[in-house]
Structure 1
Amino acid sequence: MLLKEQYDTLVSLVQKRDDDALSALLSTLHPSDIADFIETLEEEEKLYLFNLLDARVASDVIAELNTAAKGEILGSIESNQLAAIVDEMDSDDAADIFDELTPTQRAAVLEGIDEEDREEVEALLQYEDETAGGLMSLEFLYVYEFQTVREVINLLRARRDQISDIHYIYVVDKKFHLKGMLRLTELLLAKRSQRVSEVMDPVPATITPDLDQEEVAKIFKKYDVPSLPVVDSEGKLLGRITFDDVMDVVDEEATEDFMRLANVEVGERVYGDPLSSAKSRLPWLIINLATAILASWVVGLFEDTIGQFAFLAVFMPIVAGMGGNAGTQTLTVVVRGIALGDLDYGGAKKVLVKEIVVGLLNGLVNGILMGIIAYVWKGLPIVGVAIFLAMVINLFVAAFFGTVVPLVLRALKVDPALASGVIVTTATDCLGFLSFLGISKFLLEKML
């Protein structure tokens, strides 16, 4: 992580365009820290600093950049420079870069890289982005089950500079079917004359290339391993997925759920273009405006009652606000449970009952508190009773809709994080106002 004095020095050197001093300082920094700093710069400064990096470092830095900064750089650098950078990348990172390129850029870069890299990238580009194939790397070590430990160790020494992060060595038969794996510890402790088949371990799990990346993350979490093999329908070894790629998926999915719950475009960044941000947020704000008008229409049904008993307006935001907050709590728990795979349709009834009980308990406690406050404040027991009942009803509504809506959206193949918030908030606002004003009208007209 960049220290403040390092950051200030980098800013000063960029402003001065001091190439030598900048290069010297950048050589001491981790690529992730360089990427973080580049993201804070203006577009021209981003390109200037990036061009100071050699191809090896640049390949690590560009893989760490956010979408906006990466797009600015990829749109500005020459194809031959980009080809040199791609040549330094692992196959999965190179394929990710190609997804960001225009068809013209893609063709030019493919022409500029060597044939082996070209074939690997083209193979990975056949898979969808958010699948195991999109995460898969083609850099891995494999040996045949009939080889000896001595041969494997010699192979490992010969290829130590070609493959980074060697967690396991995969064992295949003559037809490349995956048979097991070798752990480095067991390899070093085994007798040199032993066959691989004698010392290999079974693979805890395999992944198919069409599996969704969220499911991949769940498998890694379950088995707690640094890497897992990807195999085709016949069990032939295709590649591997490493935990660092899965961590990116976890971060991406968590960010996506968080942003969508707030109805914000997933790709929006802190340093993004104001016009683009406004454009992406506007449709959801218009939808929220429509739901707010609906809630206002419900209030309008009781216009005469509010005109006669104006003090009711004081308590309306409390009922709606408490319902909205409770709905958000339930929604967050349920959406997260769906995302983690903890909640399926078989357990939906149990979760619904649990959330309704929680809603009713919280409604009773908060309703009693608010009822007492309303009575002391306005001196009318009727108002206290009305807000007590409305609070219980609205927190029940929040629990019900906060649980049911994301499950229904999931059944309809709609991301629960995307639209649940608007629906639940509309329900708690409208039914909160309806219950409070309806009960108040009934009681006040009967008792006064």
Structure 2
Amino acid sequence: MPRTKERLALDSARRMLHHGAYSRVVNLLGPLHDAEVANFLAHVPLDDRRRVVRALQPAKLQRVLAVMPSDALAETLADLDDKTLTRLLSGMPRAQAAGVLRSFPDSTRETVLQAMDEASSGAFGELLAYRQGLVGAIMRPDPFALDEELKVSEATDTLRRIQGEVPLYAYVVDERRHLVGVLSFRQLLIASPERRLREIMTPDPISIRPEEPQEEAAALISRYDFVALPVVDEEHRLLGVVAVDDIVDMLQERATDELYKLAGLGTGDRVFAPVLRSVRMRFPWLAVNLATAFLAAAVVALFRTTIEKAAILAAFMTIVAGQGGNAATQTLTVVIRSLAVGELTLSEGLRAVAKESVTNLLLGLGIGVLTGMMAIPYHPSVVFCLVLMTAMIVNMLVAGLSGAAIPLLLRALRIDPALASGVIVTTFTDCCGFGTFLGLATMLLRYLG
């Protein structure tokens, strides 16, 4: 279906949702691509989403759920009875279904696993044994593998008999299922039919352990331009495979998660989330920010007498604190991103702190001089401009120091840097900005004119 028609159908479906015409919504969504339907449902109110899901044809529903974002999928299925939930999860890719099961209470997980056949239950149990964030949690078990002693003709015959999803690579294993090589379909097509796979395979392929973080798998896939990465155990036996689309999904979810954490939000908060849930998720972080704001206010209150004598200080102290906060946000973004993708390790922390400190010191010199010059029309005192410039330089330096050091310290304490760095660093820059500017002004008050 052309993109214009898809957009028109989705716009019509949104209008029908407002009127509660769920059967008409289902008719409009029926011809659309499964991924379009999944994305549409993920961004409508939860109650509407659940009603549409119940009305979709089973085959269509199964395909849509298989490509729906995991957080939206979990809350969509949360109110289903155990029998329906078991049926739907059994038809989904195992790694995705295991991710959904993780979000449910232990009692629900046990009920669903007991209702499955022994093989499926065992496979799900193995995936659930890996905690969220590890490679094992997103790997696809039972990857396509061929014995190294097979002839090319036998391997191609095996490939022709595959039903369902075509494998990305053909992994080559020995008799004990140790991973010994990998084959592309091109290698199979151009090789002589009588040759053995061990003769044409690429030996010792790069692999990863299931206990490794998912970011490591993403780094390897990006570095070597893979479309899939084999997962092996400690004895190098082939356990599963991580595909590039699994990594893309993980990175998208991780990016959303990091963005929400920086704003002090939970990932369950959406534009159409219930009002009380949004309030519950946002209030604690706002309360923490309120407490830190009072710390900054307490610093300002120490210089109340100075402000009464030179009211112009009240106008400019926010500039010093604000620029420090902006510089700290830039540093935080660079450092947290570098930690997330593995560019920065704790052992390199001092070097990173030094680099960001020097960077912000130079920025402070430039911004400080510019600020002093721009302040002349408001207060032509040279001393005032020097106080403003000095305070700006000091606060920008503090922004670089704290913006680099605090995420590293939190990571060393096993606390997510994205969750707490922002509010801590902002408190540093606010208190330091106000304290430095007003402190210098107090010392030189008689020269301010």
Indicate whether the TM-score tops 0.5: yes
Taking only the aligned residue pairs, the percentage that are identical comes to 37
Per-residue Cα deviation, 1:354-381 (whole angstroms, up to 9, x for no partner) = 3222212221222112212222212222
Name the residue aligned to 1:425: 426
Name the residue aligned to 1:97: 100
Give the residue type in structure 2 aligned to 1:412. Answer: L
Give the residue type in structure 1 aligned to 2:10. Answer: Y
Per-residue Cα deviation, 1:324-370 (whole angstroms, up to 9, x for no partner) = 10111111111111111111234333333332222122212221122
Give the residue type in structure 2 aligned to 1:39. Answer: A
After TM superposition, the structure 1 stretch with the greater mean CA deviation from structure 2, 2-11 or 407-416, is 2-11
On the 8 A contact 1:67/1:267 being kept in 2, the answer is no
Give the residue type in structure 2 aligned to 1:136. Answer: M
Change (3 A) 1:73 1:427: closer
**Structure 1 residue 124, shift from structure 2 partner:** 1.5
Name the residue aligned to 1:219: 220
Per-residue Cα deviation, 1:387-427 (whole angstroms, up to 9, x for no partner) = 01111111111111111111111111111111111111111
* 10, 20, 34: which one aligns with 1:31: 34
On the 8 A contact 2:141/2:241 being kept in 1, the answer is yes
CA distance in 1, matches of 2:204, 2:64: 33
Name the residue aligned to 1:110: 113
2:65 aligned with 1:62: yes
**Structure 1 residue 108, shift from structure 2 partner:** 4.2
On the 8 A contact 2:324/2:433 being kept in 1, the answer is yes
On the 8 A contact 2:391/2:437 being kept in 1, the answer is yes
**Structure 1 residue 266, shift from structure 2 partner:** 3.1
CA distance in 1, matches of 2:103, 2:243: 22
Name the residue aligned to 1:292: 293
CA distance in 2, matches of 1:24, 1:314: 60
Name the residue aligned to 1:258: 259
On the 8 A contact 1:149/1:192 being kept in 2, the answer is yes
CA distance in 1, matches of 2:16, 2:386: 68
**Structure 1 residue 265, shift from structure 2 partner:** 1.7
**Which SS does the other structure have where 1:240 is aligned?**
strand
**Structure 1 residue 112, shift from structure 2 partner:** 4.2
Provide the alpha-carbon RMSD of the alignment.
2.2
Name the residue aligned to 2:84: 81
**Structure 1 residue 233, shift from structure 2 partner:** 0.7
Name the residue aligned to 2:161: 158
2:151 aligned with 1:148: yes
CA distance in 1, matches of 2:358, 2:22: 65
CA distance in 2, matches of 1:12, 1:395: 50
On the 8 A contact 1:225/1:243 being kept in 2, the answer is yes
**Which SS does the other structure have where 2:133 is aligned?**
coil
CA distance in 1, matches of 2:333, 2:241: 33
What TM-score does the superposition give when structure 2 sets the normalisation length? 0.92
On the 8 A contact 1:86/1:113 being kept in 2, the answer is no
CA distance in 2, matches of 1:217, 1:242: 10
**Which SS does the other structure have where 2:280 is aligned?**
helix
Which ranges of structure 1 fall in alignment gaps of 5 or more residues?
Answer: none
**Structure 1 residue 67, shift from structure 2 partner:** 5.5
On the 8 A contact 2:70/2:100 being kept in 1, the answer is no
2:132 aligned with 1:126: no
CA distance in 2, matches of 1:352, 1:254: 24
**Structure 1 residue 40, shift from structure 2 partner:** 4.0
Give the residue type in structure 2 aligned to 1:29. Answer: L
Change (3 A) 1:83 1:224: same
CA distance in 1, matches of 2:326, 2:219: 30
On the 8 A contact 1:56/1:88 being kept in 2, the answer is no
Change (3 A) 1:310 1:233: same
**Structure 1 residue 227, shift from structure 2 partner:** 0.7
On the 8 A contact 1:62/1:70 being kept in 2, the answer is yes
**Structure 1 residue 77, shift from structure 2 partner:** 2.9
Give the residue type in structure 1 aligned to 2:156. Answer: I
Name the residue aligned to 1:341: 342
**Structure 1 residue 250, shift from structure 2 partner:** 1.2
On the 8 A contact 1:326/1:395 being kept in 2, the answer is yes
What TM-score does the superposition give when structure 1 sets the normalisation length? 0.92
CA distance in 2, matches of 1:33, 1:203: 39
Per-residue Cα deviation, 1:185-215 (whole angstroms, up to 9, x for no partner) = 1011111111010111124421111111122
Name the residue aligned to 1:436: 437
CA distance in 1, matches of 2:20, 2:329: 49
Per-residue Cα deviation, 1:163-193 (whole angstroms, up to 9, x for no partner) = x241111111111111111111101111111
Name the residue aligned to 1:47: 50
Name the residue aligned to 1:236: 237
Name the residue aligned to 2:199: 198
2:353 aligned with 1:358: no
When the two structures are aligned, how many residues end up with a matched partner? 445
Per-residue Cα deviation, 1:270-289 (whole angstroms, up to 9, x for no partner) = 22122222222222222211
Name the residue aligned to 1:303: 304
Give the residue type in structure 2 aligned to 1:411. Answer: A
Change (3 A) 1:343 1:145: same
Per-residue Cα deviation, 1:287-308 (whole angstroms, up to 9, x for no partner) = 2112111111111111111111
CA distance in 1, matches of 2:218, 2:25: 38
**Structure 1 residue 11, shift from structure 2 partner:** 3.5
After TM superposition, the structure 1 stretch with the greater mean CA deviation from structure 2, 419-428 or 27-36, is 27-36
Per-residue Cα deviation, 1:230-263 (whole angstroms, up to 9, x for no partner) = 1111111111111111111211222222221222
Name the residue aligned to 2:332: 331
CA distance in 2, matches of 1:143, 1:128: 30
Which ranges of structure 2 fall in alignment gaps of 5 or more residues?
Answer: none
